């Protein structure tokens, strides 16, 4: 028997809406933002989910068919690859990772934004 994974913090409302066939509004190119830190609240007005710790322990099926932004600070950059790998497995269409510390420092866009397309991720494995 497989252990049932729990929803990440702030995902219950999204999961219930998805079960009713609803899709969250899309702003700034994404439907949902995933913060890697509880303190990160800059999500561009889209629904925010927090992924503390290992993403493998969470049920991310509510992200299926959505475009997702992972928002993080430099101190969480080492966690980004595991999160980016877990999101397409849940069925997300695109995933972008945004490092707000680099934005705040004035770094160029290609330093703080990485976009992963589902097709590319599938062939990268």
- What are the structure tokens assigned to 51, written together? 């992924």
Instruction: Compute the distance between CA of residue 2 and CA of residue 12 in angstroms, rounded to an integer.
Output: 21
Q: Check residue 106 and give its pLDDT.
A: 94
Q: Check residue 89 and give its pLDDT.
A: 87
Q: Check residue 115 and give its pLDDT.
A: 87
Tell me how far the alpha carbon of residue 58 is from its chain's centroid.
12
Instruction: Compute the distance between CA of residue 53 and CA of residue 57 in angstroms, rounded to an integer.
Output: 8
Instruction: Give pLDDT < 50 ranges for the chain.
Output: 1, 120-125
pLDDT digits (tens, 9 = 90+) for 45-60: 899 999 988 888 899 9
Q: Check residue 124 and give its pLDDT.
A: 45
Q: Check residue 2 and give its pLDDT.
A: 53
CATH class as words, domain 12-19+26-124: alpha beta
pTM, full prediction: 0.86
Q: Which residues contact 49 (CB under 8 A, 6 or more apart)?
A: 8, 9, 10, 11, 14, 32, 33, 34, 35
The CA-atom distances, in angstroms, between 27 and each of 41, 43, 59 are 15, 10, 23
pLDDT digits (tens, 9 = 90+) for 105-124: 999 999 999 888 765 444 44
């Amino acid at each position: 028997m497989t252990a049932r994974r729990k929803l990440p913090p702030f995902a219950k409302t999204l999961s219930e809406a998805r079960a009713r066939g609803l899709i969250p509004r899309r702003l700034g190119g994404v439907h949902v933002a995933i913060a890697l830190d509880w303190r990160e609240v800059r999500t561009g007005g889209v629904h925010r989910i927090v992924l503390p710790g290992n993403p493998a322990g969470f049920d991310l099926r509510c992200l299926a068919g959505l475009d997702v932004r992972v928002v993080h600070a430099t101190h969480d950059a080492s966690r980004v690859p595991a999160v980016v790998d877990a999101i397409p497995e849940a069925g997300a269409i695109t995933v972008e990772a945004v490092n707000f510390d680099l934005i705040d420092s004035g770094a160029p866009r290609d330093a703080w934004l990485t976009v992963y397309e589902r097709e590319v991720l599938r062939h990268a494995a």
